[in-house]
Structure 1
């Protein structure tokens, strides 16, 4: 009984029972009347779900309710035309409501996709186009072309008949866009996708049956009934609140094995359509297959281009992450070591000065413990930003050496100029803080590690001298002296 307290489960059970009762009655007013009850329940359940769960972005659900309401009005008017007014021609008033439902349902799904991926989802759009073109070729060959041939000189009937398969294709494309936007992670999407797919299958069966014979309504009405129940369950499920939430970009653009399988199948629909026609002994739709294959090929090439661009962008991002400190965005220690080796080679080749300065924010641990780690991180970021601005255009490189330590690497600048730069940096330390600095000038022969070791010795001398000052390591002597 606990499960029935859940609105979506209760609706599923009630809808399932009504659907079973519908099957008991033969085709007639009672059968179709119960069918109308189910179809009217879908927009009502969708509206109730939107009011009950109150998603932050409810516009898509109200569009969905409007589309389902149009479908329900089609069923109501169909019942009236057949069993009350005895109007059984084609096209008929119900068709206006049925045709209206497709753009509304597609708009609702596209709205969900747009809400989940506010940015330009190029990959998702191409994927949807590939599936739409492949299924569109299949629909044209086996549904649209035979239907249009059967109507001959009846343009109104041909137009309405054409609207149904085209509407199915548009809804399918919109559903793929939602899938590409990572909505498939929620139970609400699975219910929504199930409803749309079952509806599309039912529509396709109906269109095929009416194109190649007659249909008495007894074959697969149950598919539409299942679709109605699933639409309502999707809106009543609590996860509908998250369906339109912005999705992580990485998850929504992941080229998974399942996605590849679906796109491969869609790309093969053109030759599969031709093969199926040959197996059935039908005259092949040659030009349709040529056009569909050409468009699919171009879309696949475009998809590959988009994938290559994304891989390149990710490679650049990974390279940047490997080189920079994630908190401050400065060079990390590994990159600073590589930069120092490069600058040493340049100084040796040009015969210019190479100066290394190590900076340590004074009493950072006390600041961190007093103000909290987030404040400490803000101090590090603020110092890095201010120092990077002060060093811009000087040719000196700035790196985060580790913890609260930073390194300034300068090639081609005399030591006195570097001392002046340190004074500029000292003037812009955020939050009234100070730093100690150790400076070392390359002696022309020592290794980068030895140069850094001397700068580190000078740094500790500055800290022992009372902090907020700079000490310079003497060349090769292992001693330090105050910096003027």
Structure 2
């Protein structure tokens, strides 16, 4: 903001100085009206001052500018030097040659060269515009210049031509036409094709507009031989020089950004068309007035103007066709990006979910099955940590390619998230899906992958298969359940040691959400207690990890199911603990500890009295017993503690340490791991600790998810 304020103050001061100079020059011009000597001094010496100042300012602007604007200002600096050379030549003639400069003279050559250099400066400064638009801008400039020039010559210069030399008239008349070309190029190529124009170029455009009007006035005065050193017309060229000085000063003060090209330009078709039509009508009217018939020159100019308009239309049509093709390509690319993963080129999760819905509806209508294969790369985090994320990205790309080649032609493969992929198998039952999954598993692990400095890794994955519309499978409409089953089967594959395929139907008895004997009211109660303790899941994570740990220990399926169920409800006894104790930020007092330590017994009592799951009561009641016998409530030790409770104890401690609680901030993974290892053989069963940490090393122990809102259970 400070820079903007300084810039505004600078512009105001520079504009004030410019106005003061113009006022001074106007005053001197008025005073010199009666004195030939003073008029020569004002018109040929004082007059040159802003033009001379313009040269160094243009040089500074060229040094400050960047990119195409630097090239443009370099050309404008050359243009201004040519203008200064012309003015110095004119002044030299005024003092050394009686009658002043002849026409044409070297001064006129310098003036024309100055305009000729300024025109490409404008076009180059806005060179970001597409080539067809630049070409159209040049055609527009040529049409307007030709039309204005032809009418001006026919109506103004031609009638006065017998009084002067034809060469002098042509040179003098060319100057305002070149100024018109420059202004037209600025409008068409700059203003119409770009979102913004640098302030310096707006000032430069204004200066050339003033120059065009002033040069036109001079051409008329030249033809009637009434221009002199004390002419008020000099004030117009002074205004041109002052505006160019301001433009150069603004550009030298701060680096201006290059103009941003418009996607769709503002086409001023009406301007060149109107000029062309009015020019033809004006020339025809002049011919009818003079000779009563159209002259050959009028016909030639009319043909040129009409041809120019046709050429312009061709350029516009080609530009619009190019733009339409570019938009079509962009839309197709946007559509592709909307449904594909940018790294692997596979379909994304959103597209997979939509196709799953459509395929499930089609399968239900036709009576066919539909299956999913969930794929999770094993130990992928280790690859990222060891070899870096670029190597991890290469692994993901290669894995995606291998999966794509291993599935059937009509199967859909998507990146589900991170290192997880999913395959949608239309019309495939469980057996077919298992065959495809096994093909994918072998394809992933068959060839080692070089990822970093010649280091090869063996790429393996755990895969889970689930089906809908088959006997014992999900209904077609239960899409979330189908995904849940496949995900559960995947984790079952991880728990068994990874690099294998598991089917949901063969571990369905482990899915807690389908356990009809788990009391919904107590599940809801467990969720409410979790919400009191923090913002992340607790009992659901403990249940999930307990299931994996038990499977790693090789427990029987019935024991696994009982372990996961007890873990889901292990904290329900805290419903009878006051909230002030549960959420107390500091240390608990002895009386408060006595209340809190009763929650395992309270949980066991609730299971016994409020449900028919008394088999879970000793597991919930024993999850705070310690392996060395110093736990509570019964001081059980070693194998005297149920294996299910020993598993829950480790998973419960891990979940508590990995989440923010009122009394302590969350520990990082390494700190929590050290705490678990420190309790091995004292607080925890060593075998359970070893199994849990092995799962942690393999990435099976996932992070805690944010809590979801759970509605209270309803009763029919």
Note if 1:460 corresponds to 2:476.
no
Question: How far is the alpha carbon of 1:35 from its aligned partner?
Answer: 1.6
Q: Confirm or deny: 8 A CA contact 2:57 2:252 kept in the other structure.
A: no
Which of 237, 240, 252 in structure 1 is aligned with 2:262?
252
The CA RMSD measured in Å over matched residues stands at 4.8
Report if the CA contact (8 A) 2:76-2:117 is conserved. Answer: yes
| C-alpha contact (below 8 Å) 2:75/2:118 kept by paired residues | yes
**Aligned counterpart in structure 2 of residue 67 of structure 1, from 76, 79, 93:** 79
Q: Which of 18, 24, 27 lines up with 1:21 in the alignment?
A: 24
Distance (Å, rounded) in 1 between the aligned partners of 2:482 and 2:102: 97
**SS of alignment partner, residue 357 of structure 1:** strand
Secondary structure of the residue aligned to 1:268 is helix
Name the stretch that deviates more: 413-422 or 103-112. Answer: 413-422
The alpha-carbon distance between structure 1 residues 72 and 437, as it changes in their structure 2 partners (threshold 3 A), is farther
The residue that corresponds to 1:45 in the other structure is: 57
Residue 347 to residue 55, structure 1, CA distance change in 2 (3 Å): same
Matched, 1:318 2:331: yes
**In the alignment, which of 145, 155, 168 is matched to residue 179 of structure 2?**
168
By relative contact order (CA 8 Å, sep 6+), the higher-ranking structure is: 1
Find out whether 1:306 has 2:324 as its counterpart.
Answer: no
Contact 1:188–1:239 (8 Å) recurs in 2: no
Q: 1:135 to 1:149 in 2, by over 3 A?
A: same
Alignment match, 1:399: 414
Q: Distance in 2 between matches of 1:234 and 1:184?
A: 16
Q: CA deviation at 1:461?
A: 2.9
Measure the CA separation in 1 of the matches of 2:21 and 2:369: 88
Offset of 1:330 from its aligned partner? Answer: 4.5
Q: Is there any run of 5+ residues in structure 2 with no aligned partner, and where?
A: 34-38, 512-550, 552-716
Q: How does 1:253-402 map to 2 (within 5 A)?
A: 253-255=263-265, 259-260=266-267, 262-275=268-281, 285-324=298-337, 325=340, 327-328=342-343, 330-337=346-353, 356-360=372-376, 382=394, 385-390=397-402, 395=409, 397-401=412-416
Q: Aligned in 2, Cα 1:461/1:22: closer, same or farther, shift over 3 Å?
A: same
User: Contact 1:99–1:163 at 8 Å: present in 2 too?
Assistant: yes
Match of 1:222 among 227, 235, 238: 235
Pairing 1:137–2:140 present: no
Q: Whole-Å Cα distance in 2 between the matches of residues 202 and 383 of structure 1?
A: 71
Structure 1 residues 422 and 69: CA distance shift in structure 2, 3 A:
farther
C-alpha separation in 2, matches of 1:307 and 1:223: 41
Distance 2:378 2:366 in 1: 36
5+ residue gaps, structure 1: none
Could you state the TM-score of these two structures normalised by the residue count of structure 1? 0.74
Per-residue CA deviations over 1:303-347 (Å, capped at 9, x if unaligned) read 134224313422442343244257536434444356567888999
State the partner residue of 2:245: 232
Following the alignment from structure 1 to structure 2, what is the Cα–Cα distance between the partners of residues 288 and 15?
42
Please tell me whether the aligned partners of residues 358 and 456 of structure 1 are also in contact (alpha carbons under 8 angstroms).
no
Could you tell me how far 1:70 is from its partner in structure 2? 0.6
Match of residue 128, structure 1, among 129, 133, 137: 137
* Correspondence for 2:95: 83
**Which structure has the larger Rg over C-alpha atoms?**
2
State how many pairs are aligned: 464
For 1:185 and 1:343, how far apart are their aligned partners in 2?
A: 54
Q: Is the Cα–Cα contact under 8 Å of residues 211 and 240 in structure 2 kept in the other structure? A: yes
The structure-2 alpha-carbon separation of the partners of 1:233 and 1:468, relative to structure 1 and needing over 3 Å to count, comes to farther
